[in-house]
């Protein structure tokens, strides 16, 4: 069996990779994605989250290799908007999951976790005498103000969050960009949660959904990352706003070093002091995306050049 200690750290990996219309197979010590344009070699140990879009197939050997290297695989709809199914994470330990369940089941500790989750969104300390209802009201005001300020700054009109998955094209560009950006954010948070051994279903603020905890954690980053990004993309000329949002997410997640923050942020809200030292050593490192195509390979006859996406849509 492969020694798990030699596997790459989660934060060393690419934030996400989206593939469509091709076949993913195992080839020697790496993966190979075959399309009509050619073949791209993909290092197995660099993948943290792989999205397989329409027209993709994957071999048994490739799936086995991804599982052995702790890569979350998700089968998605076109443009990665919908998540249909996913594989499991790679941890073999239950300590963090049991601690998460313990914190949730005790009403007192659950309230403390919820307060810490809200505290991460405010620069100033929340008064101890504030009720959860008051804090929720403050959070709603903060988010609403954030939308208004970003709308004014970008000049993109905002009439509220409004989208219908069954009538996707009826939504305005900024709502479609928000959905696409948040989908990438959810996927990255989901991958981190599973990779670290937590349950995506045991949420504290959000409850009753299989991804409740994913939504809890993703909310830490929306006003700083996906909301301004979506307005920026929607304000730019051009079609395919969802694709452009995903590409922008790749760059923004890299620049903000988001992958290095997620698991320590979870430990912080869980007040897992004994976990922080372990996580600091386990997950520190660099964040790599497909922005540098030279690290991935290229189609036959295609020169290596940073920022070239080819059929991989530049990390899309």
- Asked if the model's pLDDT at residue 164 lies above 70, the reply is no
3-state secondary structure of 26: strand
**Least confident span in 75-89, 95-109, 125-139, 182-196:** 75-89
> For the packed helices 262-269 and 173-196, what is the interaxial angle rounded to 10 degrees?
70
| Phi, psi for residue 65 in degrees, rounded to 5 | -65, -40
pLDDT band at 183 (very low <50, low <70, confident <90, very high): confident
**How high is the pLDDT of residue 194?**
80
Closest by CA to 246, choosing from 62, 69, 49, is: 49
pLDDT band at 75 (very low <50, low <70, confident <90, very high): confident
Helix boundaries (H) for the chain: 60-68, 95-105, 107-119, 132-154, 173-196, 212-218, 226-235, 241-255, 262-269, 273-283
Return the DSSP state at 110: H
- Asked if the model's pLDDT at residue 2 lies above 80, the reply is no
Per-residue model confidence as pLDDT tens digits over 228-268: 999 999 999 888 898 899 889 888 888 888 878 998 999 99
Is the CB of residue 221 less than 8 Å from the CB of residue 265? Answer: no
**How high is the pLDDT of residue 3?**
41
Higher pLDDT, 92 or 137: 137
Task: For residue 290, give both structure tokens.
Answer: 């497909």
Higher pLDDT, 209 or 314: 209
In the block, residue with structure tokens 């593939």: 19
In the block, residue with structure tokens 């989908």: 183
Is the CB of residue 42 less than 8 Å from the CB of residue 9? Answer: no
Domain range list for the chain: 4-90+287-315, 95-283
CA 224 → CA 147, 235, 295, distances in Å? 11, 17, 29
Mean pLDDT of 80-107: 81
Per-residue model confidence as pLDDT tens digits over 9-67: 555 555 568 888 999 999 888 899 999 989 988 887 777 778 888 899 999 999 999 88
Average pLDDT, the chain: 79
Q: Which CATH number fits domain 4-90+287-315: 2.60.40.1260, 3.40.190.10, 3.100.10.20, 3.40.50.720?
A: 3.100.10.20
3-state secondary structure 212-257: HHHHHHHCCCCCCCHHHHHHHHHHCCCCCHHHHHHHHHHHHHHHCC
- Asked if the model's pLDDT at residue 214 lies above 70, the reply is yes
Return the DSSP state at 170: G
**How high is the pLDDT of residue 316?**
37
Per-residue model confidence as pLDDT tens digits over 95-138: 899 999 999 999 999 999 999 999 999 989 999 999 999 999 99
In the block, residue with structure tokens 């990390």: 315
Percent of the chain past pLDDT 70, that is, above it, reads 74
Q: How far apart are the first and last CA of the chain?
A: 33
| pTM exceeds cut of 0.85 | no
- Asked if the model's pLDDT at residue 8 lies above 70, the reply is no
> For the packed helices 262-269 and 107-119, what is the interaxial angle rounded to 10 degrees?
130
**How high is the pLDDT of residue 80?**
57
Mean pLDDT of 199-212: 95
At the top level of CATH, the class of 95-283 is mainly alpha
**How high is the pLDDT of residue 273?**
55
Q: What is the largest CA-CA distance in the chain?
A: 66
- Asked if the model's pLDDT at residue 291 lies above 70, the reply is no
Alpha-carbon gap, residue 281 to 263, rounded angstroms: 12
Alpha-carbon gap, residue 203 to 206, rounded angstroms: 5
Task: For residue 248, give both structure tokens.
Answer: 């922008």
């Amino acid at each position: 069996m492969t020694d798990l200690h030699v596997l790459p750290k989660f934060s060393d990996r690419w934030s996400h990779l989206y593939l469509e219309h091709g076949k993913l197979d195992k080839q020697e010590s790496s993966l190979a994605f075959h399309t009509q344009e050619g073949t791209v070699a993909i290092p197995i140990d660099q993948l943290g989250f792989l999205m397989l879009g329409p027209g993709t197939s994957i071999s048994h050997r490739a799936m086995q290799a991804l599982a052995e290297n702790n890569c979350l695989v998700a089968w998605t709809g076109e443009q990665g908007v919908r998540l249909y199914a996913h594989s499991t994470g790679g941890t073999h330990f239950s300590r963090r999951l049991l601690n998460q369940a313990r914190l949730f089941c005790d009403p007192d500790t659950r309230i403390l976790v919820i307060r810490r989750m809200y505290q991460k969104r405010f620069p100033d300390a929340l008064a101890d005498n504030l009720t959860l209802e008051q804090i929720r009201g403050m959070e709603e005001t903060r988010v609403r103000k954030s939308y208004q300020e970003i709308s004014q700054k970008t000049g993109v009109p905002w009439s509220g969050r409004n989208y219908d998955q069954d009538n996707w094209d009826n939504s305005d560009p900024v709502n479609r960009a928000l959905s696409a950006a948040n989908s990438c954010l959810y996927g990255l948070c989901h991958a981190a949660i599973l990779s670290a051994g937590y349950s995506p279903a045991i949420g504290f603020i959000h409850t009753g959904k299989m991804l409740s905890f994913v939504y809890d954690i993703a909310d830490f980053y929306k006003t700083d990352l996906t909301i301004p990004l979506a307005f920026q993309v929607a304000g730019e000329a051009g079609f395919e706003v969802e694709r452009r949002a995903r590409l922008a997410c790749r760059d923004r997640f890299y620049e903000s070093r988001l992958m290095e923050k997620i698991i320590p942020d979870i430990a912080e809200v869980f007040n897992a002091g004994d976990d922080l030292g372990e996580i600091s050593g386990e997950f520190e490192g660099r964040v790599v995306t497909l922005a540098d195509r030279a690290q991935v390979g290229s189609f036959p006859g295609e020169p290596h050049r940073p920022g070239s996406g080819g059929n991989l849509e530049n990390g899309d």
